[in-house]
Chain A
Amino acid sequence: MTKLTLRNVSRTFGSVVAVDDFSLALAQGEFVALLGPSGCGKTTTLRMIAGLLDPSAGTIEMDGEVISSPGSSLPPEKRGMSMIFQSYAIWPNMTVAENVAFGLQVRRVSRAETRTKVEQILDVVQMRHLRDRYPAELSGGQQQRVALARAIVVQPAVLLLDEPLSNLDANLREEMRYEIRRLHDEFHITTVYVTHDQAEAMVTSDRIAVMNQGRVEQVDEPRALYARPRTRFVAGFIGRTNFLDGEVRDGEVAFDRFAIGLEQFAEAPALSGRVSFSLRPQSIRLLRQRPPASSGSSAIPGHVVQRAYLGEHWDYVVRPADSGLQLRVTARPHEVFEVGETVWLEVDPRQMAHIQ
């Protein structure tokens, strides 16, 4: 069931287009991340969903009813959502318990029930022992937990998170990612999560909408996004990759000094003319001997140009024979090759993602 729909939403500030023709539908209970570099319009999109900003064009609907349209939007307080802000926005004049209880008081929940719910949610975020502290006496991580508790306790129709982890140190950030996903698995609240950190998005989300310069580049599950990026931007933004440009002719895709049979590609029927592919460094195998011709994979000769040992893996840069291309290859720690050594690159064309 569709909970939230953004239909061709745009927002301009003066002459600057912050969000450009954004469309997205969230199912009930779905967790979607808006991922992109800073200034790509993801926070603007989130604030429009919250009702803190009006769209310049397009509509936002919740449960089939228009809640935002240019010139007329339901104010944020009537949307039944909650939001976690980059600054946490914990009210410094209220204790932890008062902060958490606020949304319930506004909803005129009885005093006794408020008390029980606050205790429960503080247990969930492991903050009960600090219930009477003021925010100034809490660490960043603890404030973050209060913000989470305050947002979840009202059981919002939609939960919005605006870069909630960007002010935390690295270890805490990793811990809180799992915490956020755990809370989602427990409460199934429809969630929109804004972040510029791909790992955060991958850990927490059901789907990720990658944004660039106000536009959605691709919306997909994390695995699909990584394995089958559809644009050059997405391929480059999510993880590291190699870009290969080629041309389809005579039943082959010709690259710089080597070619791969067209029938081996997953998207073969769609390929024609000039084409580009993204090939992850992990998807290439390095071999000393030419591998036996097997169905599906291609072997290309080359030699090692550069290497770096990073402990968990090797980073190689390999140049296919006579080619101007330099391909990055990730290999396991025991796969040792010297610089200058001649090697065979084993590539599975089905893992090459065709990009625009």
Chain B
Amino acid sequence: MAPRDASAVTEVVRTGSLAARPVGYRQRWRHVDKSVFLWLFLIGVLLVLVINPLARLFWVSLQHVDTGALTLENYVTAYGRWRYLEALVNSLVLGLSVAVVCTLFGVPMAWAVSRTDMPGKGLVWAAILGTFIVPSYLGAVAWILLAGPNAGWLNRAYMWLTGAAAGPFNIYSMTGLVLIVAAYSFPYMFVFTRSALDMISSEMEDAASTLGAGILRTTLRVTLPLTLPAILAAIIVVFLEAIALFGAPALIALPGRFQVITTMLWQFFEFPPKVQVAAAYSMPLLAITVGLFWLQRRLTGRKGYVAMTGKGGERRPVRLGKWRWVMLGYCLFVTSLSFFLPMVVVLQAAFAKAWGRGFSLDNLTLHNVRFVLVDQPLTKAATLHTFVYGATAAAIALALALCIAYIVQRRLVPFGNALSFLAMAPFVIPGIVLAIGFYAAYTQPPLLLYGTAWILILAFATRFLPIAYANSDAAIRGINPELEDAVRILGGGRLMAIRRVVMPLLKRALAGAFILVFIPATRELSAAIFLYTTGTQVLSVLLFDKSDEGNFEILASIGLILVVITVALVMLGFRLVGRDFMLRRTSA
């Protein structure tokens, strides 16, 4: 056997005696991993989607309206009037009130579902999932039907019961707006608090009870404080959600004759659009959001609380006795506000000849839904657009997120952290601010996208890129890099490794991520409203546009179609990924 041959075996490298041949350009080129060009291309795409709109937003806010010269005049205009400042204050009031109401709604429900023997948990859970599925602007439409002055169902019920001449409820008020926004934001509070509660073992509570504390005392002194970081984080999230929301405030505040930041921005865009002022005016929104998200990260990043890391340990439900029915009543009350009552009135209106005529068989009709889906070319096109734009945006976001997560995880480029930061950055940019940035960046050459569907698609893709990125990142972390090394060493190249090994292994996770982006993309309103043009309407925009006409049967039908689309996607997600897929905390 040759290798044992002494002369071969004892050969030792005489270092330096046999100089290595110099490496020529040809060989250098042969040595280059060609996939590097794909990574460079992706970085370019990220620049277009994230950096350029933001840079343009800042730039435009400093540009003179007519001359384009550098000026602070826009800021003076934006903050020079009491009316404009009042809108800022209103947004803060709205955000804080919503945070308080969400805490009152979400925390007791989370505790009841996670830690007690309350009956009907499945029903409560389903209703919360249902709340996630109803877009908040549809909720606003429903609440106009429920608590509009005089004609609203609740007012009519009150008048019928008491014989009074007028009902007490007026949804077109700050109180009304807070209620609606809170009703559609409290699920965040619920999910955050619940996942924190799920990590606390009963032993910690037992430790308190053995020292003589009762249930109430234990809960208030031990359990809740342990979940405090999660609750604070959720408060920040719902606050930010509330101040960045466009649909519900526009439907409620404008008829109620008050303004918030987002409706004010909308007004700056009325013809002729004052982009420069809008850009300047959006800066506080951006600053608050970035600042609070930073704070939120610090809160959840702190490891001081064992409850966040301590798993295991036995978990027993707290026995509530007869109070469990009270608890269930409370849960059903909250979900009635957010889900049951709105869905009933939306369904009624969607299938009614005239919603005001109430629940009777001769008032039933399929005409509205037919009108939206079949008869009216505009709404028919919008339905198609909703699907196509949403799916395209989800595909783009996912492809981009996947590639970025991959090159960052595999350290294929030296500045990976910067890329991952860029991919997550849209998470802290309110949709409406992003839209203004896109408008500022892409209404003129070289990239004239305004007026095409692409500006909507790219804006959606950018907005939901963080969802796609967080999911892709988690999925790729689960793949041992040696699986790809094995492909390469056998002659396969990196792209083949991705195609033959990485993609097949990621299929399920990616299907889930796709749906998680697709769902919000089909109902997105706050960016779409600034970027659509005639011919590129989507359902959400149409629903908002038609709200002027007061044709609530059509509005309800459009809303219902959106809900049906979402439900179908959620069901698909459940089948592909499992029950938990929508309510995981991946992004926060």
User: Quick one: which of B20, B486, B496 contacts A83, CB cutoff 8 A?
Assistant: B486
**Contact mask for chain A residues 104-121; partner B; CB cutoff 8 A; 1 contact, 0 none:** 001100000000000000
Given contacts A27-B2, A89-B486, A107-B491, contact A75 B9 (CB under 8 A): no
In the complex, are the beta carbons of B480 and A89 less than 8 A apart?
yes
Closest to B29 in A: A72
B2 CB contacts on chain A under 8 angstroms: 27-29, 188
User: Quick one: which of B15, B31, B482, B490 contacts A8, CB cutoff 8 A?
Assistant: B15
**Is A92 close to B, CB under 8 A?**
yes
Please report the C-alpha to C-alpha distance between residue A27 and residue B4 in the assembled complex, in whole angstroms.
10
In the complex, are the beta carbons of A2 and B491 less than 8 A apart?
no
CB distance from B402 to the nearest CB of A (A): 17
CB distance from B407 to the nearest CB of A (A): 16
Please report the C-alpha to C-alpha distance between residue A74 and residue B29 in the assembled complex, in whole angstroms.
9
B67 CB contacts on chain A under 8 angstroms: none
Given contacts A52-B488, A83-B489, A102-B487, contact A72 B482 (CB under 8 A): no
User: Quick one: which of A7, A65, A73, A82 contacts B13, CB cutoff 8 A?
Assistant: A7
Closest to B490 in A: A103
CB distance from B7 to the nearest CB of A (A): 9
**Contact mask for chain A residues 162-206; partner B; CB cutoff 8 A; 1 contact, 0 none:** 000000000000000000000001001000000000000000001
**Is B69 close to A, CB under 8 A?**
no
In the complex, are the beta carbons of B9 and A27 less than 8 A apart?
yes
Main secondary structure, interface of B, reads helix
**Is B501 close to A, CB under 8 A?**
yes
By the criterion of a CB under 8 Å from any partner CB, how many residues of chain A are at the interface?
55
B11 CB contacts on chain A under 8 angstroms: 2, 25, 27
In the complex, are the beta carbons of A7 and B23 less than 8 A apart?
no
In the complex, are the beta carbons of B488 and A82 less than 8 A apart?
no
**Is B216 close to A, CB under 8 A?**
no
Given contacts A66-B21, A150-B490, contact A72 B9 (CB under 8 A): no
Given contacts A89-B482, A188-B2, contact A206 B27 (CB under 8 A): no
Please report the C-alpha to C-alpha distance between residue A318 and residue B493 in the assembled complex, in whole angstroms.
60
**Is B30 close to A, CB under 8 A?**
yes
| Interface contact tally, CB-CB below 8 A | 127
In the complex, are the beta carbons of A61 and B490 less than 8 A apart?
no
**Contact mask for chain A residues 63-78; partner B; CB cutoff 8 A; 1 contact, 0 none:** 0011001001111111
In the complex, are the beta carbons of A72 and B489 less than 8 A apart?
no
**Is B375 close to A, CB under 8 A?**
no
B16 CB contacts on chain A under 8 angstroms: 7-8
CB distance from B77 to the nearest CB of A (A): 52
**Is B220 close to A, CB under 8 A?**
no
Please report the C-alpha to C-alpha distance between residue A151 and residue B289 in the assembled complex, in whole angstroms.
53
Please report the C-alpha to C-alpha distance between residue A6 and residue B11 in the assembled complex, in whole angstroms.
13
**Is B33 close to A, CB under 8 A?**
yes
User: Quick one: which of B23, B27, B482, B490 contacts A86, CB cutoff 8 A?
Assistant: B482
**Is B3 close to A, CB under 8 A?**
yes
Closest to A52 in B: B485
Closest to A83 in B: B489
**Is A351 close to B, CB under 8 A?**
no
CB distance from A156 to the nearest CB of B (A): 8
In the complex, are the beta carbons of A91 and B486 less than 8 A apart?
yes
User: Quick one: which of A28, A66, A76, A91 contacts B489, CB cutoff 8 A?
Assistant: A76
Please report the C-alpha to C-alpha distance between residue A74 and residue B492 in the assembled complex, in whole angstroms.
13
Please report the C-alpha to C-alpha distance between residue A51 and residue B488 in the assembled complex, in whole angstroms.
9
In the complex, are the beta carbons of B492 and A102 less than 8 A apart?
yes
A-B pairs with beta carbons under 8 Å apart, 27 shown: A1-B8, A5-B13, A7-B15, A8-B15, A25-B13, A30-B8, A50-B485, A51-B489, A66-B20, A66-B21, A69-B23, A74-B30, A75-B493, A76-B488, A76-B489, A77-B489, A78-B491, A85-B482, A89-B483, A91-B483, A91-B500, A102-B487, A102-B492, A160-B489, A188-B2, A206-B9, A221-B9
Write the residues of chain B forming the contact surface with A, with a CB cutoff of 8 angstroms.
1-5, 8-9, 11-13, 15-16, 20-21, 23, 27-28, 30-31, 33, 480, 482-483, 485-494, 496, 500-501, 504-505
